[in-house]
Chains A and B, each alone.
Chain A
């Protein structure tokens, strides 16, 4: 999910002896901590994945920010603000975790702002009506939880600990989203139609969040072997669908997939093939909102420059005073 744009990373130029010893630790379910020896490719993969995950949290604030001023009640507005603040927090936990691997926050953030780094494809879709705020919480955060619960057991200690914190908070996000959907689905016919429309538009992009199908996912094998990933893209996607379909039925809404059907033999829902070209196109930068998101992020960063400068100047002044005293 947070490795959608990663290149294939093979074990680098480390000695076989060290690599084997490392693999033994992984196989014994030992967690790897920042100052432990680790293969170069393990470090590189984690920096990319964790920073991409962090970027996703940061950019993920933008589709929701669209609704802060237009939330239908003060309560909904407060909830939405709290959720957005959480997303910023998740970004910070994750940047910290990536920093323990030797990458600087400034470098990672610069890569986001210049478009060099990727973030989750889902945030390049617009939030057009209020029910989208519900659908995002229910489906997008729901899909994220599926992935992040699995990542709580990832082999890198700081990443795993960040995920534990994130998961606790993310559950609130999903539930508040579903709560919005219930209100809309049980509202007037027009409100219910808005909820259905939001589901129609959010469903497929949510499924794409889990990344390419296992047969096309180039970097999965090594990540699974190092237990950075614990479940395959397709397994997590299926788990998400199985959990979500009954929730849609409860709302009285229809999942936009004619082939969606419970399969008695497998105990899972069958579903249509995902249009993968759309995912790859959005990752490449051609989604409906890629440019808008990058512009908003850059604007926020540039508009905040004076705050950073003032804080630095103040700290320097305080320091000089201390030296004099």
Chain B
């Protein structure tokens, strides 16, 4: 049995979101199981199942090296540029 991760789109206009995982011998069975397990109450209208070994993820021990550089770049945010009230529509 392989482990598959399950993603659901709640309704059109939204993106697929991770909801959990299922075991299955192949992708078809994973899809069936995901449907039975995660959509009993109309939680979604589209399912992705992904073989969990195919997912590449960042390493939590590199978290700072990866994400900390964004912390001190506040000039990337619009709130970094305050103007007088007279300046409108910007």
Contact = CB atoms under 8 A, between A and B. Distances in A.
Partners in one complex: yes
A86 B25 contact: no
A96 B21 contact: yes
Contacts of A315: 25-26, 29
Contacts of A314: 25-26
Given A33-B60, A36-B60, A93-B20, A311 B40 contact: no
Contacts of B3: 99
B64 to A, nearest CB: 13
A39 interface: no
B13 to A, nearest CB: 22
A318 B23 contact: no
Contacts of A89: 37, 40
A262 interface: no
B60 to A, nearest CB: 5
Interface string A305-322: 000000110110010000
Interface residues of B, number: 16
Contacts of B20: 93, 96, 161-162, 165
A162 B21 CA distance: 11
A77 to B, nearest CB: 17
B49 interface: no
A105 B24 CA distance: 12
A85 B39 CA distance: 12
Contacts of B41: 168-169
Interface in A158-173: 161-162, 165, 168-169
A319 to B, nearest CB: 8
B53 interface: no
Nearest to B59: A35
A161 B19 CA distance: 9
A119 to B, nearest CB: 20
Interface string A200-214: 000000000000000
Contacts of A93: 20, 37
Contact of A105 (B23, B29, B61): B23
A311 B29 CA distance: 9
Interface in B1-18: 1, 3
Given A93-B20, A99-B3, A162-B20, A318 B26 contact: yes
Which among A37, A89, A315 has the greatest number of chain B C-beta atoms within 10 A?
A: A315
Interface of B: 1, 3, 20-23, 25-26, 29, 37, 40-41, 57, 59-61
Interface of A: 33, 35-37, 82, 85-86, 89, 92-93, 96, 99, 105, 161-162, 165, 168-169, 311-312, 314-315, 318
25 contacts: A33-B60, A35-B59, A35-B60, A36-B60, A37-B60, A82-B40, A89-B40, A92-B22, A92-B37, A93-B20, A93-B37, A96-B20, A96-B21, A96-B22, A99-B3, A105-B1, A105-B23, A161-B20, A162-B20, A165-B20, A311-B25, A311-B29, A312-B25, A314-B25, A314-B26
Given A86-B40, A311-B25, 4 more contacts: A33-B60, A35-B57, A36-B60, A314-B26
